[in-house]
Amino acid sequence: MRILKLTDICKDYMQGKEPVRVLKNINLEVEQGDYIAIMGPSGSGKSTLMNIIGCLDVPTSGEYELNGNNLRNLKDDDLADMRNKYIGFVFQSFYLMPKMEAVDNVALPLLYADVPLKERRQRAEEALKAVGLEERIHFLPNQMSGGQCQRVAIARAMVTKPALLLADEPTGALDTKSGKQVMDIFDDLSDSGMTILMITHDPDIARRAKKVYHILDGELLTNQEGGTGRE
């Protein structure tokens, strides 16, 4: 089943008074169960692409289909719905609510899906267990290490059972050891059937994915190399 289809996506940003084309005619299809890494140098447009795929931003032109829905002309609140229903986000710098316990952070997207309180708690606890943090349920972000925080963020991304898990340099802020731990979780998620799209510029990490795309100056290079997978 096709999760995602991008056709001729372009994105312009105003830099000064001149529009600058940051994404140039991106074509991309993602199938159910894909595990894709996108690599590219800094400033090549990776995050911009990720934001468009994650319905945080809208393209200047082109067609975008997510889970069978055409996203053209959607209003802000409809995009919020799309994000809530179909997308799970993992950011480089975690973005946890500093004054909320781990479990409340994880339950937050369920609140916006109007899931009742009891079920929210239960599902959040299960998600935390799945990332190995059952002991840290009531910890605040500043009481946890970077790796643990990123695992909370992953639990938050998967608690809604999204169609697509997006990760923008998820190990960028972590040391090698906790980076590896985090990547193991992504591998496990992929094994359990989750569709994952990940940005990285670490080749070792990209190698874990099943497909690797390169982006250069806003263009997605077509010569995809098959990821070697885990060894």
Ligand X SMILES: Nc1ncnc2c1ncn2[C@@H]1O[C@H](COP(=O)(O)OP(=O)(O)O)[C@@H](O)[C@H]1O
CA–CA separation, 148 and 102 (whole Å): 10
Sign of the CA dihedral 204, 208, 211, 213? negative
Kindly state whether residue 81 participates in binding another protein, applying the rule CB under 8 A.
Answer: yes
Q: Is 218 exposed, middle or buried (0-12, 13-18, 19+ CB in 10 A)?
A: buried
Stretch that binds another protein, among 61-69, 103-111, 122-130, 139-147 (CB under 8 A): 103-111
Query: Which one of 112, 134, 176, 191 is in contact with another protein (CB under 8 A)?
Result: 112
Cα→Cα distances 159→61, 120, 126, 155, 223, Å: 32, 9, 8, 6, 34
Kindly state whether residue 13 participates in binding another protein, applying the rule CB under 8 A.
Answer: no
Kindly state whether residue 160 participates in binding Mg ion, applying the rule CB under 5 A.
Answer: no
Residues between 186 and 215 with contacts to Mg ion, criterion CB under 5 A: none
Query: Which one of 20, 113, 216, 221 is in contact with another protein (CB under 8 A)?
Result: 113
Residues between 9 and 28 with contacts to ligand X, criterion CB under 6 A: 13, 15, 22
Q: Which of 36, 33, 31, 30 is nearest to 210 (CA)?
A: 36
Cα→Cα distances 56→78, 125, 136, Å: 11, 27, 30
Q: Which of 56, 62, 53, 75 is nearest to 21 (CA)?
A: 62
Instruction: Report how many residues bind Mg ion under the rule CB under 5 A.
Output: 1
Stretch that binds ligand X, among 35-43, 60-68, 100-108, 189-197 (CB under 6 A): 35-43
Q: Per the structure block, which two tokens stand in for 2?
A: 């096709």
Applying CB under 6 A, the residues found at the interface with ligand X are 13, 15, 22, 40, 42-48
Applying CB under 8 A, the residues found at the interface with another protein are 51, 54, 56-57, 76-77, 80-81, 83-85, 89, 91, 93, 95, 97, 99, 108-109, 111-113, 156
Applying CB under 5 A, the residues found at the interface with Mg ion are 47
